[in-house]
């Protein structure tokens, strides 16, 4: 179960953010935006250990309270998931499948004619679906 999900655009501008506890949202925004440098390093970095071409980037960094995971699509949209550090039951594979679900939600929303690509996502149904993915109810 994740505590926060964010979608960041090609130009590193925030498109969507959803967190379980709205009071912590500002703190999450800070953590997510500061993790973007690591995302950049992982996809463009010169000393990439292996030629990893998977969309899922794995653990970006771990803080005392939270762990932050990243995923970048072929179109350079960035998805970030923040997980509570105390939650050790959550494995990489579960995070990966969570990302895939978010990606397919995003593919649906971008095919929605009412959504203009590049704008922040404000659809209620999308927010609900992401909440469900976060809490693991789908």
Partner 1 sequence: MCDQSVFEIFHSELVNYVIQNNETQLKNTSKTHGEDLSNLEYIGFSTGFRIIERLTRELPRFRDELDTMKFICTDFWSAIYMKQIDNLRTNHQGIYVLQDNCFRYLSKLSNTKQYLDLSPRYVTFTCGLLRGSLANLGIRSIVTAEVQTMPSCKFHIQVQRN
- Of 29 and 73, which has the nearer Cβ to partner 1? 73
Query: What are the tokens at 49?
Result: 């250990």
111 in contact with partner 1 (CB under 8 A): yes
Q: CA 124, CA 50: separation in Å to the nearest integer?
A: 40
- Look at the block and give the residue holding tokens 């704008």: 119
- Determine the interface stretch with partner 1 among 22-30, 69-77, 82-90, 121-129 (rule: CB under 8 A): 69-77
Window 23-62: contact mask with partner 1 (x via CB under 8 A): --------------------x---------xxx-------
Residue 14 pairs in a beta bridge with 8
Return the C-alpha torsion angle 45, 47, 49, 54, nearest 10: 20
- Determine the interface stretch with partner 1 among 17-25, 78-86, 87-95, 109-117 (rule: CB under 8 A): 109-117
79 in contact with partner 1 (CB under 8 A): no
Q: CA 34, CA 40: separation in Å to the nearest integer?
A: 11
Smallest distance, Å, CB 19 to partner 1? 24
């Amino acid at each position: 179960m994740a505590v926060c999900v964010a979608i960041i655009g090609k130009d590193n501008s925030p498109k969507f953010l959803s967190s379980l506890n709205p009071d912590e949202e500002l703190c999450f925004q800070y953590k997510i935006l500061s993790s973007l440098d690591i995302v950049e390093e992982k996809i463009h970095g010169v000393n990439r250990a292996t030629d990893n071409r998977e969309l899922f980037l794995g653990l970006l960094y771990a803080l005392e309270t939270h762990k932050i995971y990243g995923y970048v699509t072929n179109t350079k949209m960035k998805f970030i998931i923040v997980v509570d550090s105390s939650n050790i039951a959550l494995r990489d594979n579960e995070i990966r499948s969570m990302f895939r679900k978010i990606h397919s939600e995003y593919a649906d929303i971008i095919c929605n004619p009412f959504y203009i690509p590049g704008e922040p996502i404000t659809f209620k149904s999308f927010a609900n679906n992401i909440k469900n993915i976060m809490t693991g109810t789908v």
